[in-house]
Chains A and B, each alone.
Chain A
Amino acid sequence: NAGVTQTPKFQVLKTGQSMTLQCAQDMNHEYMSWYRQDPGMGLRLIHYSVGAGITDQGEVPNGYNVSRSTTEDFPLRLLSAAPSQTSVYFCASSLGQGHQPQHFGDGTRLSIL
């Protein structure tokens, strides 16, 4: 049972480049979310989705886009990478919305030079 799968695990980008972080879950969860984790700041919500075709902004959405065309996939796009986006990114999913436990992927460690 794969759970939540994130790719890539590591990535180095140059300022201004764009890229997509992939997230897929095989648990038929409706709710999916993206967080970034920076030292001393916990996990901050970037975007979330309550189902296919429905997305909304979290706490720190600027510089990131998302889409949810299927229940399984929830990619996160960096349009023009900036050094401030250097972070560890986690994707999570849950059966329901915020009242259900979230299952996290292993994370993507992203460095912007």
Chain B
Amino acid sequence: GQQVMQIPQYQHVQEGEDFTTYCNSSTTLSNIQWYKQRPGGHPVFLIQLVKSGEVKKQKRLTFQFGEAKKNSSLHITATQTTDVGTYFCAGPQSGGYQKVTFGTGTKLQVIP
């Protein structure tokens, strides 16, 4: 079945440093979604990318969808303590929208 891996699993950064998490799928994705989960909370939708090679920005966050639609990345510039949490990518397998597979997640800790 479809597998979606994220690296790194954990990342500790000093406040102000940049952070990147990478998402790799074993199969082509119809789209890629990114979610953030604060400690003790539930996943919250951040953004969706649909087109091959698409890049979207939300303030300090930059999201990219790979040309082959099998990988994606999230880059945070100048991290803040409010960025703490676990970031998940997710996507339905290409050709079918019903089963959404979540990545393994990257847990970000920001040291003040």
Q: Which of the candidate stretches B51-59, B61-69, B101-109 sits at the interface with the other chain?
A: B101-109
Per the 8 Å Cβ criterion, residues 30-47 of A in contact with B are 33, 35, 40-45
A103 in the interface (beta carbon within 8 A): yes
Q: Which one of B6, B50, B91, B99 lies within 8 Å of A58 (CB-CB)?
A: B99
Closest to A104 in B: B42
B104→A40 contact, CB < 8 A? yes
Contacts of B102 in A (CB 8 A): 35, 42-45
A35 to chain B, nearest CB (A): 7
Range for the number of chain A residues in contact with chain B: 20 to 34
B28 in the interface (beta carbon within 8 A): no
A42→B105 contact, CB < 8 A? yes
B93 to chain A, nearest CB (A): 8
A65 to chain B, nearest CB (A): 18
Scan B85-109; emit 1 where CB is below 8 A from any A CB, else 0: 0001011100011111111110000
Q: Which one of A40, A44, A96 lies within 8 Å of B9 (CB-CB)?
A: A40
A102→B100 contact, CB < 8 A? yes
Contacts of B98 in A (CB 8 A): 48, 50, 56, 97-98
- Give the A-binding residues of B (Cβ under 8 A): 1, 4, 6, 9, 30-31, 33, 41-45, 48, 50, 88, 90-92, 96-105
- Give the B-binding residues of A (Cβ under 8 A): 33, 35, 40-45, 48, 50, 56, 58-59, 90, 92, 96-99, 101-107
**What would 8 more interface pairs be, CB under 8 Å, given A98-B99, A102-B33?**
A43-B43, A43-B90, A90-B43, A98-B97, A99-B30, A99-B50, A102-B100, A104-B43
